[in-house]
Amino acid sequence: MAGQDDSTISSVAWSRHSIGLEVEMKFEQHCEETERLFGKPYEEVHRWLDELMWKGLGPRHRRKRHHEAGIRQVVKLFGEEAGRVARQHIVTDLKEEGWTEQDPFPKDEEHYVKMGLF
């Protein structure tokens, strides 16, 4: 990072490290929840749902896979039970954004955005 002093570089590195810790903690929470509810952690489902977080989208990654269309993809990739796990993961995340069980479940990316979610 040309033109930045060591404190700026350290600050950027710490920020990325903190985000990484936060995401890792969230990943562990999703795995613990699904182990409790479904009998195993389904790490592959949680990684797939959240992988775009690491590819530059940050919190906006949810608009890409956290909806019915994303669940259908999970079923194709990992099977029917994984689809139920994906729905639980998404519901948990949606509730953090103020969504309630009375609200419609997002259908796809466009619907997700129209609902006022990221």
In a domain, 46, yes or no: yes
Are 73 and 107 in contact by the 8 Å Cβ rule? The answer is: no
Instruction: Please state, in angstroms and as integers, the Cα–Cα distance from residue 10 to each residue in 4, 18, 22, 41, 110, following that order.
Output: 10, 12, 18, 34, 38
In a domain, 1, yes or no: no
Number of domains in the chain: 1
In a domain, 12, yes or no: yes
In a domain, 78, yes or no: yes
pLDDT at 25: 59
pLDDT tens column, 19-48:
444 555 588 999 999 999 999 999 999 999
pLDDT at 7: 38
In a domain, 25, yes or no: yes
Range of the domain at 20: 6-114
Give the separation between CA 28 and CA 45, rounded to whole angstroms: 12
Q: What is the pTM of this model?
A: 0.78
Mean pLDDT of 84-89: 97
